[in-house]
Amino acid sequence: QLPKQVTIKEVGPRDGLQNEKMHISTADKVQLVNLLGQTGLNYIEVTSFVHPKWIPQLADAVEVLQAIKRHKDITYAALVPNMRGLERALQAEVDEVSIFMSASESHNQSNINKTIEDTFPILEEVVVGAQAAKKHVRGYISTVIGCPYEGYIHPDKVLRVTEKLLEMGVTEISLGDTIGVGVPTQVEFLLEELLKRYPAEKFAMHFHDTRGTALANIMKSLEMGITKFDSALGGLGGCPYAKGASGNVATEDLLYLFDEMGIETGVDRQKVLEAALFIEEKLGKAVASKQMAIVRNE
Q: Which listed range, 22-30, 106-114, 219-227, 281-289, lies at the site for ligand HMG (CB under 6 A)?
A: 106-114
The length of the chain, given as a count of residues: 298
Residues 249/255, Cβ–Cβ less than 8 Å? no
Toward ligand HMG, which CB reaches closer, 15 or 60? 15
Secondary structure letter of residue 25 according to DSSP: P
239 is catalytic: yes
- Binding to ligand HMG (CB under 6 A) within 235-254 occurs at 239, 241
Q: How many residues bind Mg ion (CB under 5 A)?
A: 1
- Judged by CB under 6 A, does residue 129 bind ligand HMG? no
- Give the type of residue at 69: K
- Binding to ligand HMG (CB under 6 A) within 180-209 occurs at 206, 208
- Residue 40: Cβ-neighbour burial (10 angstroms; 0-12, 13-18, 19+): middle
Site string for ligand HMG, 7-26 (x = CB under 6 A): --------x--x--------
Of ligand HMG, Mg ion, none, which one does residue 100 interact with (CB within 5 to 8 Å by kind)? ligand HMG
Complete DSSP assignment for 53-85? TT-GGGTTHHHHHHHSPP-TT-EEEEE--SHHH
Residues 258/215, Cβ–Cβ less than 8 Å? no
Strands 75-79 and 43-48: parallel
Q: How far is the CB of 46 from ligand HMG (least distance, A)?
A: 14
Residues 273/291, Cβ–Cβ less than 8 Å? yes
> How many other C-beta atoms lie within 10 A of the C-beta of residue 281?
10
The three-state secondary structure class of 180 is: coil
Toward ligand HMG, which CB reaches closer, 39 or 48? 48
- Judged by CB under 6 A, does residue 112 bind ligand HMG? yes
- Binding to ligand HMG (CB under 6 A) within 76-105 occurs at 79, 81-82, 84-85, 100
Toward ligand HMG, which CB reaches closer, 110 or 291? 110
Q: Exactly one of 239, 242, 273, 292 is catalytic; which is it?
A: 239
Inter-CA distances, 37 with 13, 55, 137, 204, 282, Å: 12, 24, 21, 21, 18
Among 6, 8, 12, 15, binds Mg ion (CB under 5 A): 15
Of Mg ion, ligand HMG, none, which one does residue 221 interact with (CB within 5 to 8 Å by kind)? none
> How many other C-beta atoms lie within 10 A of the C-beta of residue 71?
14
Which residues are tagged catalytic? 239
Q: Return residues touching ligand HMG (CB under 6 A).
A: 15, 18, 48-51, 54-55, 79, 81-82, 84-85, 100, 111-113, 140, 142, 176, 178, 206, 208, 239, 241
Q: Which residues bind Mg ion (CB under 5 A)?
A: 15
